[in-house]
Chain A
Amino acid sequence: MSAETLLKVEGLGKSFGGVMAVSNVDFELKRGDFLGVIGPNGAGKTTLVNLITGFVKPSRGKVIFNGKDITGRKPYDIANMGVARTFQMVRLFHNMPAYKNLIIPLCSQRVRKLRGGKYGERDDVAIDLLDDMGFERTSNVPYKTAGSLPHGYLKRLDLARALALRPDLLILDELFSGMSMAEVAGVLPIIEKLNTQGLTTIMIEHRLRELFRVVDRVMVLNFGVKIAEGSPDQVMDSDEVKKAYLGVDVEIPRGKPA
């Protein structure tokens, strides 16, 4: 079973004023893969996301998405090709109602093309998506100004906004940070379901227990270098990972909890 390659990252590197934030990273994703990316703070995880999505120009290396070289392309081009992302620090259109945040991606070139040039009932699509995220359609929450919503809602709105682009690749940059246990428990099954439906996903996360429940592969970064890649169990057994990421004395959370 060799599925089609969706994303190929080759020798990707970025230096900021002499410091290598990401250096010589290689990896490959097949359609439908679910990759977790972990590593200590400052390991270069967010820079990696920025490099793939075009927010930062690589110093070297290549990003191939869907057979096309997208290295150094503009972020909006990459988005319109089907790469959606969330931001570690929530970034929304704060002065718009929550559902309007989704109308903007629904107006994008990409969605226009996917829907055969028609826009149809954008408002309905937006409300449906938000309803899935726990913004009950019968309440007034989807119509509230985004900036006035509590943090947990903002994170979910960020996710819904990314999904509205109908991406082929979804990159989640610490989606769970600042979310309550209950909120994570609400969102995790949604992400899991999307992936089983075929959405290729990269998830950067510090909450390992939750991460390991959903991903099938983990990549570990430290000082911008990939130090391990494999199943959660494999990766956590690697001595280098224990040393670099968790410190040898820390108890390591195991794959699927009983």
Chain B
Amino acid sequence: MWLIVYGIISSVILALYAVGFSLTYGVSGLPNFAHGALYILGGYAIWNLMNVAGLSIIAAAPLTVITCGLLGFGLYWGLLLRVRGIPLSELVVTFAAGVAILELLTWSGFYGIRYSLPVFWEESIEIFSVVIDGQRILVLATGVALVILLHLFVRHTRTGLAFRGLAQNERTALSVGIEADWIGSLSVAMGSGLAAVAAVVVLPLGMMEATIGYEVLIYALAVAIVGGLESTTGMVLASFIIGFAQTAAARYIGPKWMIIVPLAAIVLVLVVRPSGLLGKFKELEERV
């Protein structure tokens, strides 16, 4: 029972890490390797908003998400626009931006015990004789709410339709007047904002330091690669497979396995099925 409950929680956390990365990549084909950096920057932002500016979490959380979203916008218009359409350059630029953010945070002394966030809800509840604390309930609720909201957004709004159009066929989308740069930057901004959402709900579970940014990037990549890039269902499925494997391995083998499992999953999938479980790039398997 413990394994099921905590497996689900780990899976939802992974999905929260990955959802922004997948959204950006799915819509605009941009691999945002600054995703993990934006995540931990979200933590840094909310910590400062609460502890330096003295805001309550209710005010600080949305401000954090907006800040990271705007940074995503800036990343697109300031750096990515120049290299748009050249995948390797896009990757290098976002990775460099991410490393710059993370090293700046470390340099400014962003590590140590004092950087921790208060949990939102002190209570804990018991389900099937397993005790779950309030913060993890919040993580679950956020994960479920995000999936529903994103689904509604993509299916029932004009911007959502433009997202799908651009994702399905870029050239056709351009030919019918979809402003690809605006939509592309919006997808980076939303992805970055989602990284901050994940940070706000997940980070109170532990301590904060800049290196977490690298871990989150690895988790997001693992989920995206295992699930298959551009597949939402694949993303959710991969989160659950890796999440459960992680939880089981950490409990029965050792806590170090939390990070080994996703790395092993990447290698395994690339060897066995390089397009991912539900990926659409079947060419990878059909190559001679």
Contacts and interface: CB of A to CB of B under 8 A. Distances in A.
Contacts of A55: 171, 174-175
Contacts of B181: 74
A59 B140 CA distance: 55
Contacts of B168: 93-96
Contacts of A84: 175-176
Interface in B165-180: 165, 168-169, 171-180
Contacts of A217: none
Interface in A85-131: 85, 87, 91-96, 100, 103-105, 107-110
B164 interface: yes
B164 A79 contact: no
A111 B187 CA distance: 23
A220 B173 CA distance: 30
Contacts of A199: none
A54 B174 CA distance: 10
Nearest to B165: A104
A162 B161 CA distance: 17
B180 to A, nearest CB: 6
Contact of B175 (A75, A95, A107): A75
Contacts of A164: 176
A117 B162 CA distance: 18
Interface residues of B, number: 18
A100 B173 CA distance: 13
A120 to B, nearest CB: 14
Given A96-B164, A103-B161, A76 B180 contact: yes
B165 to A, nearest CB: 5
B158 interface: yes
A165 B172 CA distance: 12
A4 B20 CA distance: 50
Contact of B172 (A93, A107, A108, A110): A93
Contacts of A110: 177
A161 interface: yes
B70 to A, nearest CB: 23
A80 interface: yes
A101 to B, nearest CB: 8
A164 to B, nearest CB: 7
Contacts of A161: 172, 176
B266 to A, nearest CB: 27
Contacts of A107: 158, 161-162
A71 interface: no
Contact of A80 (B161, B165, B173, B177): B177
A200 interface: no
A162 B169 contact: no
Contact of B178 (A92, A100, A108): A108
23 contacts: A54-B174, A75-B171, A75-B174, A76-B173, A76-B174, A76-B179, A76-B180, A79-B174, A79-B175, A79-B176, A84-B176, A87-B175, A91-B171, A92-B169, A92-B172, A93-B164, A93-B168, A94-B169, A104-B161, A104-B162, A104-B178, A108-B177, A109-B177
Given A87-B171, A104-B178, 14 more contacts: A53-B175, A74-B181, A75-B174, A76-B177, A76-B179, A84-B176, A87-B175, A91-B172, A96-B164, A100-B161, A103-B161, A108-B176, A164-B176, A165-B177
Interface of B: 158, 161-162, 164-165, 168-169, 171-181
Give me the 4 closest cross-chain CB pairs, A-B, nearest first: A108-B177, A105-B176, A75-B174, A79-B177
